[in-house]
Amino acid sequence: MKSKYVILASAILISVSTFAQKDQLKAAEKAMKGGNSAEAKNILQQAEPLIANATDNEKAQYFFLKGNALLDLATKNIDASKNQTDAAKAYLDLIAIEKTSGKSKFTGQAQNAINDIKGRLLNSAIEEGTKKNYLVASKQLRAVYDLDKKDLEKLYYAASYAVNGGDFDTALAYYDELKNANYSGEGVVYYATNKETKKEESFNTKQERDLYLKVSHDNPRDEKIPSKRGEIYKNIALILVEKGKVDEAKLAIQEARKANPEDASLIATEANLYLKAGDMATYKKLISEVLEKNPNNADLIFNLGVISYNNKELIDAEKYYLKAIEVDPKYSNAYLNLAILKLDAEKTLIDQMNKLGNTPAENKKYEVLKKKREDVFKSAIPYLEKVVEFDEKNAEASRTLLNVYNALEMTDKAKALKAKINK
């Protein structure tokens, strides 16, 4: 008899709980209809402990009301970021419950709300990024990704913002997720010009653009989006280096190269790793590999010139600088370094001239050295003039060229350049 009373008492307790949660759901629904989402949120918080024992229909209704209440608070700009994120989680819980139960009373509305939240979070992230609130933007983009795990692009930009915000641990975690998902970001963006506004617009697919081309757009063009895989592995490696884990960084790049042997950007990343470590020989070897795959990369060719110059391999340095200019005729830094390379010879000549006395033989030698010095200046002029032409803001190059003109008594050119500098 005693045990029967215990069972009966338990049944009464469950029944009372069921009535309580139903009443609370009704009260929350009434508060929402009255426009009081804060009250609805409080009522639902009180009901939360009882939801575990609720039916699937009641659970679905609970999470639907919770999502609506939080989203309304966010719309009223009350703790917007947190309430939007929590609302999305409530809607996701609702969708999961209805999927399991085989019913979809609220799923459609919940999915629409999630899409709305994604748009809001994305716009907010862009705004915060513009304000340089990088960590806030990163967190919001992560929230967008959590709402749609297929949208790896948002995780990629969340990682980038985390780097900009100096949160390297978070960035590394995100980059590892991208690596494990084998994300590349490769694709094609389809553009066409709006005939009315004359502005170019992008489209998600070629089929979508083709429809607009028949009605309101023209001048179609395609733009290939290159792989971001190399950049992802590079950033993983650089973060590991920043954390003092150079050996792990090297292993990460080697692993990446095995998985993507044709990706030249990964070789460049490994090369930069050795550059940072001061291993110039390995850096040069790896950059040469990159140039075999991409012989028209002016930056890499220029870097080889810099390394050769630092290693006193002046013939090689000149060759690389000239090659960089051949690839990019407006590469001002290559012209500048060629001028520096030429002018380096002046110091030796000046030292030799200063050591000479006043004997006839020494005076004769002085004139020979003076002529050589003038030839050095003349050899640097074309390169300095190119720097000034392509990089007008380079004050150092302009001053150096002016000094050379004055040393060679090129008065007219010196006056013209001085007037340009003082303009």
| Band of pLDDT at residue 14, cut at 50, 70 and 90 | very low
User: Does residue 4 register a pLDDT over 60?
Assistant: no
CA atoms within 13 A on the CB side of 289: 18
Q: Determine the pLDDT at residue 152.
A: 94
Provide DSSP, 305-323. Answer: HHHHHHTT-HHHHHHHHHH
pLDDT of 99 over the 80 cut:
yes
Q: What is the pLDDT of residues 391-418, one digit of tens each?
A: 888 888 899 999 889 988 899 988 888 8
Backbone angles phi and psi of 357, in degrees to 5: -95, -150
Q: How far, in Å, CA of 168 to CA of 170, rounded?
A: 5
* Predicted model pTM: 0.58
pLDDT in tens, 136-162: 999 999 999 998 889 999 999 999 999
For residue 16, pLDDT beyond 50: no
What is the average pLDDT across 328-357?
91
- Separation CA 14–CA 19 (nearest Å): 9
- Taking the CA atoms of 122, 128, 132 and 134 in sequence, report the sign of the dihedral they define: negative
Query: 385: which 2 tokens?
Result: 């003039």
Across residues 11-35, what is the average pLDDT? 63
Q: What is the pLDDT of residue 169?
A: 95
Measured distance CA(332)–CA(321) in Å, rounded: 10
From the list 127, 119, 37, the residue with the least C-alpha distance to 78 is 37
Instruction: Spell out the domain ranges in the chain.
Output: 10-131, 187-225, 331-423
> With pLDDT > 90 as the criterion, what percentage of the chain qualifies?
32
pLDDT digits (tens, 9 = 90+) for 222-270: 988 888 887 888 888 888 878 888 888 888 888 777 777 777 767 777 8
Q: Examine the pLDDT at 10 and tell me if it is beyond 50.
A: no
pLDDT value at residue 21: 59
Residue 18 has pLDDT above 70, yes or no: no
SS3 202: strand
Is 302 within 8 Å of 341 (Cβ atoms)? Answer: no
pLDDT digits (tens, 9 = 90+) for 184-214: 888 899 999 999 999 999 998 999 999 999 9
Which helix H or strand E contains 218, and what residues bound it? strand 217-225
In degrees, rounded to 5, the angle at the alpha carbon of residue 171 between the alpha carbons of residues 231 and 224 is 30
Which residue in 244, 307, 292, 237 sits closest to 266, CA to CA?
A: 237
Q: What is the CATH number of domain 10-131?
A: 1.25.40
What was the pLDDT predicted at 330?
A: 92
